[in-house]
């Protein structure tokens, strides 16, 4: 691909972010180059969930019908506390769907990536080189030069007006350009296990996705398409991430649900779930996108979705500038808005994902304390006030902090009645058209739930107990009525 061609955009990395970038830019008629180290899509799914916004991007690319057989609606989720009681049930939104697609879906990543690549292959203005490595990125005032090493042809160069680094978490582009990452204060080892479960195993497993909010080992079960089930299991201090990923050790960890007769391990791998975001998303003519720009724990199933949102945000801006529709200072401001918009959204979403998890842990710890349980490694006794971890404290602080930021913003812009909340913060409130006071009230209520109400049960009135047919005291968990013996799979 070297020679006299100057591409409009060169994309390093052909994972989900790279392939969507190539498709969107290619559809706009731009001359695009893509290089990818691997020869084929990564065969094992990492992402398991996506959302309706991503389906709309797939619609834009014309692949929704092709992708549909490899997706299924996300099931309801149940959250169980330390003693197996249901503490929360999350149900899926009923139709009509606000964006036209099921809001939350599970999917099979390798097949979906293959469909996206087939789409790009039909665009004659996009050149894709697989099995080659980008070894050096050299930006200058007029463009960017990439050094590309081909296993047979050897070294060559590619020249482009702009480069998008979609080269994953250990991005060579980001490293070579010295672009820094900010730590979002989450760093934990987890084991992720994908099991192809047979009939016997399926009969044993819950029919909905489950969060086991057990402070000593929080874990998650996700119902993926067909007979694919994903377990995410937190590792305890001192556990060797390599050792727990051996088949024997993995089956041992799965033994509360399944035995080797119930299915086959598709993959098991230990991950360090780390929350990071790039300080700057643009350096001149080079942009970071996808995991190259941010990483987050998969609790909200949003890492890949965020990368697809990144390139969707960037593609139309680059096209407008490259076609000369926006010029001069306005063009620079438009390109700068990419990082400003995406970074704020990624930070907020990552924080809310951490918050959800931390609040689950807090709930479990408070409840265990009240009931006088002492779990290994968590020697809480009735009457003790459990010390919160740093991430838990932050989770409880994040909502008031967002509201305080919105207030500051409102004061600075002299709009007291219906100020715009900072991007990402309080987006729900913005959408629903509530004013700041409403957002603040809702946030305060949520915070109170996180610190006091959540995790507290009350004995229901006799009228409610009679209606539920409960013999003993019926407990009310944030509106969910649960009898302790009602959940046999826990
Ligand atoms: C266990 C787990 C569960 C997850 N679950 C979800 C989920 O449910 N939903 C969700 O949305 N996200 C999820 N994610 C996150 C998601 O998998 C990632 O965010 C996504 O794959 C990142 O896509 P990407 O294109 O940015 O990077 P990658 O997929 O990492 O692709 C980068 C590509 O660049 C190539 N490359 C790198 N360097 C070079 C080079 N120098 N030259 C040429 N090529 C290069 C690599 O070979 C690779 O193919 C999960 C992640 C994990 C680990």
**Is residue 470 domain-resident?**
yes
Q: What are phi and psi of 160, to 5 degrees?
A: -145, 160
Mean pLDDT calculated for residue range 103-109: 96
Angstrom distance (rounded) from CA 169 to CA 242:
20
Please, are residues 22 and 34 in contact by the beta-carbon 8 Å criterion?
yes
| 135 Cα to the center of ligand 1, angstroms | 19
3-state secondary structure labels for all residues of 10-79: EEECCCHHHHHHHHHHHHCCCCEEEEECCCCCCCCCCCCEEEHHHHHHHHHCCCHHHHHHHEEECCCEEE
Q: What is the pLDDT of residue 139?
A: 98
The pLDDT mean for the chain works out to 79
Nearest CA owner, ligand 1 atom 26: 290
- Domain at 215, CATH number: 3.30.9.10
Domains of the chain: total:
4
Angstrom distance (rounded) from CA 378 to CA 389:
12
CA distance to 31, 40, 67, 422, per residue, from 114 (Å): 22, 9, 10, 37
**Is residue 406 domain-resident?**
yes
**Is residue 90 domain-resident?**
no
- Residue to probe by mutation, ligand 1, list 164, 303, 314, most atoms within 8 Å of CB: 303
Q: Are residues 219 and 308 in the same domain?
A: no
Going by pLDDT thresholds of 50, 70 and 90, the confidence category of residue 356 is low
Regarding the beta carbon of 113 and ligand 1, being less than 6 Å apart is answered: no
Regarding the beta carbon of 297 and ligand 1, being less than 6 Å apart is answered: no
Closest ligand 1 atom to 49 CA: 8
Closest ligand 1 atom to 222 CA: 8
Cβ burial of 449 (10 Å; 0-12, 13-18, 19+) is: middle
Containing structural domain, residue 413:
377-453
Q: Are residues 20 and 125 in the same domain?
A: yes
For the stretch 205-264, pLDDT in tens is 999 999 999 988 999 999 999 999 999 999 999 999 999 999 999 999 999 999 999 999
Going by pLDDT thresholds of 50, 70 and 90, the confidence category of residue 430 is very low
**Domain stops at, among 263, 294, 325:** 325
For the stretch 37-88, pLDDT in tens is 999 999 889 999 999 999 999 999 999 999 999 999 999 999 999 888 999 9
> How wide is the angle at C-alpha 99 spanned by C-alphas 165 and 400, nearest 5°?
75
Q: What is the pLDDT of residue 83?
A: 87
Going by pLDDT thresholds of 50, 70 and 90, the confidence category of residue 185 is confident
Closest ligand 1 atom to 19 CA: 25
Q: What is the pLDDT of residue 355?
A: 55
* Lowest mean per-residue pLDDT among 62-71, 134-143, 270-279, 421-430: 421-430
Q: Are residues 408 and 470 in the same domain?
A: no
SS3 of residue 102 by DSSP: coil
- Domain at 287, CATH number: 3.50.50.60
| DSSP state string for 345-358 | HHHHHHHHHHHHHH
| DSSP state string for 254-321 | HTTT--GGGEEEEEEEEEEEEEEEES-SEETTEEE-GGGTEE--GGGS-HHHHHHHHHHHHHHHHHHH
Angstrom distance (rounded) from CA 376 to CA 362:
16
**Is residue 333 domain-resident?**
no
Q: Are residues 383 and 447 in the same domain?
A: yes
Q: What is the pLDDT of residue 411?
A: 44
Regarding the beta carbon of 304 and ligand 1, being less than 6 Å apart is answered: yes
Q: Are residues 154 and 27 in the same domain?
A: yes
Regarding the beta carbon of 20 and ligand 1, being less than 6 Å apart is answered: no
Q: Are residues 155 and 302 in the same domain?
A: yes
CA distance to 241, 251, 253, 379, 395, per residue, from 234 (Å): 10, 15, 10, 19, 19
| 197 Cα to the center of ligand 1, angstroms | 25
Q: What is the pLDDT of residue 297?
A: 84
Q: Are residues 232 and 266 in the same domain?
A: yes
Q: Is 371 left (phi over 0), alpha (psi -120 to 50) or beta?
A: alpha
Whole-model pTM?
Answer: 0.77
Q: Are residues 245 and 284 in the same domain?
A: no
Q: Is 470 left (phi over 0), alpha (psi -120 to 50) or beta?
A: beta
Q: Are residues 214 and 254 in the same domain?
A: yes
Nearest CA owner, ligand 1 atom 5: 47
Closest ligand 1 atom to 133 CA: 42
Angstrom distance (rounded) from CA 484 to CA 490:
10
Sole residue written with tokens 């929704």: 64
Q: Are residues 123 and 66 in the same domain?
A: yes
Nearest CA owner, ligand 1 atom 14: 47
More confident position, 352 or 309:
309
Angstrom distance (rounded) from CA 11 to CA 24:
12
Q: Which residues contact 247 (CB under 8 A, 6 or more apart)?
A: 265, 268
**Is residue 352 domain-resident?**
no
**Is residue 31 domain-resident?**
yes
How many residues can be counted in the chain? 490
Q: Are residues 158 and 20 in the same domain?
A: yes
Mean pLDDT calculated for residue range 13-38: 98
Mean pLDDT calculated for residue range 288-293: 98
Q: What is the pLDDT of residue 358?
A: 54
For the stretch 415-425, pLDDT in tens is 333 333 333 33
SS3 of residue 134 by DSSP: strand
Which pair of tokens denotes residue 315? 């593609």
Regarding the beta carbon of 353 and ligand 1, being less than 6 Å apart is answered: no
For the stretch 450-466, pLDDT in tens is 333 333 333 333 443 34
Mean pLDDT calculated for residue range 96-117: 96
Pairing of strands 77-80, 209-212: parallel
- Count other C-beta atoms under 10 Å from residue 95's C-beta: 8
Regarding the beta carbon of 355 and ligand 1, being less than 6 Å apart is answered: no
Cβ burial of 461 (10 Å; 0-12, 13-18, 19+) is: exposed
**Which of 146-160, 435-449, 467-481 is the most confident on average?**
146-160
Q: Are residues 193 and 121 in the same domain?
A: no
**Is residue 390 domain-resident?**
yes
**Domain stops at, among 290, 307, 325:** 325
- Residue to probe by mutation, ligand 1, list 14, 47, 273, most atoms within 8 Å of CB: 47
Which pair of tokens denotes residue 371? 């009931």
Q: Quick check: 95 pLDDT over 50?
A: yes
- Residue to probe by mutation, ligand 1, list 10, 12, 13, 147, most atoms within 8 Å of CB: 13
Regarding the beta carbon of 149 and ligand 1, being less than 6 Å apart is answered: no
| 486 Cα to the center of ligand 1, angstroms | 40
Nearest residue to 20 (alpha-carbon basis) of 343, 339, 345, 309: 309
**Is residue 366 domain-resident?**
no
Nearest residue to 52 (alpha-carbon basis) of 69, 70, 73: 73
Nearest CA owner, ligand 1 atom 29: 15
């Amino acid at each position: 691909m070297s020679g006299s061609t100057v591409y409009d955009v060169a994309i390093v990395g052909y994972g989900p972010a790279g392939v969507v970038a190539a498709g969107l830019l290619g559809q706009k008629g731009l001359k695009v180059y893509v290089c990818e180290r691997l020869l084929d899509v990564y065969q094992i799914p990492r992402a398991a969930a996506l959302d309706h916004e991503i389906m709309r991007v797939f619609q834009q690319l014309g692949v929704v019908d092709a992708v549909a057989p490899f997706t299924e609606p996300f099931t309801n989720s149940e959250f169980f506390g330390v003693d197996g009681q249901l503490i929360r049930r999350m149900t899926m939104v009923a139709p009509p769907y606000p964006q036209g697609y099921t809001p939350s879906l599970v999917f099979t990543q390798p097949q979906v990536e293959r469909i996206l690549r087939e789409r790009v292959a039909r665009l004659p203005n996009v050149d894709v080189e697989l099995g080659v490595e980008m070894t050096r990125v050299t930006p200058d005032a007029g463009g960017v030069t990439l050094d590309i090493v081909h296993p047979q042809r050897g070294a060559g160069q590619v020249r482009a007006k702009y480069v998008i680094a979609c080269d994953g978490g250990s991005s060579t582009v980001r490293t070579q350009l010295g672009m820094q990452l900010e730590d979002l204060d989450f760093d934990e080892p987890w084991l992720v296990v994908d099991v192809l479960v047979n009939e016997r195993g399926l009969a044993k497993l819950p029919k909905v996705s489950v969060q086991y909010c057990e402070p000593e080992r929080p874990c998650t079960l996700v119902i993926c398409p067909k007979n694919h089930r994903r377990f995410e299991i937190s590792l305890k201090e001192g556990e060797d991430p390599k050792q727990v990923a051996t088949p024997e050790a993995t089956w041992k960890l799965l033994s509360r649900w399944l035995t080797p007769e119930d299915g086959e391990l598709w993959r098991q791998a230990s991950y360090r779930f780390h929350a990071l975001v790039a300080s700057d998303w643009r350096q001149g003519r080079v942009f970071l996108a996808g995991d190259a720009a941010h990483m987050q724990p998969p609790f909200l199933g949003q890492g890949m979705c965020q990368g697809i949102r990144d390139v969707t945000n960037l593609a139309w801006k680059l096209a407008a500038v490259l076609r000369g529709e926006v010029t001069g200072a306005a063009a620079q401001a438009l390109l700068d808005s990419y990082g400003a918009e995406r970074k704020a959204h990624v930070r907020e979403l990552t924080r809310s994902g951490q918050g959800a998890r931390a609040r689950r842990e807090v709930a479990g710890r408070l409840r265990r304390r009240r009931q006088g349980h002492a779990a290994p490694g968590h020697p809480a006794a009735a009457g003790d006030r459990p010390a919160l971890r740093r991430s838990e404290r932050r989770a409880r602080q994040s909502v008031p902090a967002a509201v305080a930021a919105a207030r500051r913003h409102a004061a600075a812009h002299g709009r007291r009645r219906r100020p715009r909340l900072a991007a990402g913060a309080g987006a729900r409130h913005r959408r629903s058209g509530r004013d700041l006071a409403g957002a603040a009230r809702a946030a305060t209520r949520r915070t109170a739930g996180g610190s006091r109400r959540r995790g507290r049960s009350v004995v229901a009135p006799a009228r409610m107990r009679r209606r539920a047919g409960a013999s003993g005291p019926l407990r009310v968990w944030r509106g969910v009525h649960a009898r302790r013996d009602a959940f046999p799979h826990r």
